[in-house]
Amino acid sequence: MQPSSSQKPMSVPRQPAGALVLAAGRGKAMRVAAGTLVKLTNPHGTQAVDFWAFNADDPGEYLSTEHIRSVNSTVPVNSGSRLVSWRRRPLASIVEDSSAGDHDTLLCPCNADLYAELGCTGYHRSCADNLHEGLAEIGIEIPFTPASVNLFMSVRAEPDGSLTRLLPASEPGSQVTIRAEMEVILAFSSCPQDVTTINGPDRTPRDCLIVVIDAETAT
Ligand SMILES: [Zn+2]
């Protein structure tokens, strides 16, 4: 049994075409129509961006990393990967990618418990909180945090079964373009991780840029 939401997202207005800043360590959620392109630019190349998608008619149907790996028969995702829900239906896909690629599907989004484990005292922003904040801004509440697709984040599964968290390998200005394959809610989190080096050796979250391109313009 999958969790579901009692929200009625149909009243959520669509994100207008144009550019916006995904501020360092912050999140953003948006509703977009099928065929919309969302171009995510990483000006420094170092910023990990956690990504989620939900069926706009039923946020209980959301991207599922285990189904993404099964459908694509790959561990990371790249240009051409289908980003599917737990119903194996494509909610989105990666259509262009100038980054180092091999975006992580293995690690969970950071949350308050992780930062407590890392020794942080007091509140520390997290990708999980960014997801829920972003959804709340457009009037959606979900009672769980799905696994994220971790764009620009490099994690390698070693032959002995261990995982290695690599430094980010994308060039400044790298872009990933995502196409909505149905009416969806997309959510992005500029990972606020400043304890480990997942956002680069200087442990500094940075702004990214999102450009929304309407389906009519995209085709
Ligand atoms: Zn994070």
Residue 30 Cα to ligand 1 middle (Å): 19
Residue 126 Cα to ligand 1 middle (Å): 5
**Can you give the pLDDT at residue 6?**
47
Domain-located, residue 1: no
Residue 64 Cα to ligand 1 middle (Å): 17
Higher-confidence residue of 215 and 89: namely 89
Residue 9 Cα to ligand 1 middle (Å): 25
Among residues 63, 65, 61, the alpha carbon closest in space to that of 53 is found at 63
Domain-located, residue 9: no
Domain-located, residue 4: no
Residue 188 Cα to ligand 1 middle (Å): 10
- Rounded CA-CA distance 19/152 in Å is 20
Higher-confidence residue of 1 and 64: namely 64
pLDDT of residue 198 exceeding 90:
yes
Q: Which is it for the CA torsion 186, 76, 94, 98, positive or negative?
A: positive
Residue 179 Cα to ligand 1 middle (Å): 23
| SS3 state of residue 200 | coil
pLDDT of residue 170 exceeding 60:
yes
Residue 206 Cα to ligand 1 middle (Å): 12
Percent of the chain residues topping a pLDDT of 90:
93
CA–CA distances in Å: residue 157 to residues 19, 95, 121, 127: 35, 25, 31, 22
Domain-located, residue 160: yes
Domain-located, residue 219: no
Domain-located, residue 40: yes
Structural domain that includes position 172 = 17-212
Number of domains in the chain: 1
Residue 67 Cα to ligand 1 middle (Å): 21
Identify the band that residue 208 occupies on the pLDDT scale cut at 50, 70 and 90.
very high
**Can you give the pLDDT at residue 10?**
59
Identify the band that residue 9 occupies on the pLDDT scale cut at 50, 70 and 90.
low
Residue 131 Cα to ligand 1 middle (Å): 10
Percent of the chain residues topping a pLDDT of 70:
95
pLDDT of residue 24 exceeding 80:
yes
- Rounded CA-CA distance 152/208 in Å is 11
Higher-confidence residue of 206 and 8: namely 206
Residue 103 Cα to ligand 1 middle (Å): 14
Residue 129 Cα to ligand 1 middle (Å): 9
90-140 per-position pLDDT tens digit: 999 999 999 999 999 999 999 999 999 999 999 999 999 999 999 999 999
Higher-confidence residue of 211 and 2: namely 211
pTM equals 0.94
Domain-located, residue 44: yes
**Can you give the pLDDT at residue 41?**
98
Domain-located, residue 146: yes
